[in-house]
Amino acid sequence: MGAILSVLKSNWRLSSPSLVLLLVGTGVVMLYSRRGASWGRRWLTTVLLSYGFLATPMGSGLVALPLAGRQAHLSSMAEANGAQTVVMLGSGIISHTADGMTIDDLDASALRLIESVRVYKLLGEPLLIVSGGNTQELDPPRTEAAALRAAAIALGVPASRVLEETESMTTREQAVAVKRLLNARGIETFVLVTSPLHMGRSLAAFRAVGLKPVFSASEPRRDPAKMSWSLALSRQSIRLADAALYEYLAWAYYWSRGWVGRETS
């Protein structure tokens, strides 16, 4: 499971050179074949128009809109149903290391962390669990959780209130690992924080292992529900489309493995 999703994440995303090369290369091969030249032209035209459309606010917004339903934010302690734990799911980091020093770029995880600290303060200093393993496969290891913990402390969360989950590489593994941490501490009710696009699959994955989280979504970089009809190309749009298409593939894979859509103990 981890190997398949790791390949999807790193090499076969919409914006990855591997996928672009495969799509364009397939069209070129057809273009220079005796019988496939016309199909090659159609293929390359389709690829060009599809990428162009997905790189616009309108195109990326239409693709991401069905995934953006879980955007509610906790606004009071009452909405948390008595939860005294916040669980934040990491979304990848970029670590820059030189001369024995490291600076971590939280990238998409930054908005999730800000929401987690906001909920932490709202609930009166509960336990904060940050989840994410060595997804960069660095040696020596540098986990997402370690970087997120340091950032949470920098935002005012006491070190004693931040717990790291450092083994997981995927959402499924996060659900399994977090369940162990919660069960070991007798915790039943908790707030789950992740991005709006990721929230639906996260809730389904956590419920599939027998957990029932309250959710609070982070602010989106761009809200598909406030979709612009602009056709101007932008890097932000292609990133949104990229994330949305990955979520669809991940949903399909999780369904095939029985990791969403049912509750188990």
**In the chain, what are the domains?**
2-67+229-257 (no CATH), 78-215 (3.40.50.620)
Give the integer Cα–Cα distance in Å for 153 and 61. 34
pLDDT at 149: 97
Cβ-proximal residues to 35 (8 Å cutoff; 6+ apart), any chain: none
With bands split at pLDDT 50, 70 and 90, how would you rate the model's confidence at 98? confident
User: What pLDDT does 183 receive?
Assistant: 96
170 band by pLDDT with thresholds 50, 70 and 90:
very high
Average confidence score pLDDT of the chain: 89
Asked if the peptide bond before residue 17 counts as cis, ω within 30 degrees of 0, the response is no
Q: Judge whether residue 263 has pLDDT over 50.
A: no
Half-sphere exposure of 159 (CA within 13 A, CB side): 3
Burial 162-183 (b: 16+ CB within 10 A, else e): bbbbbbbbbbbbbbbbbeebbe
> Which region, left, alpha or beta, applies to residue 87 given φ > 0 means left and ψ of -120 to 50 means alpha?
beta
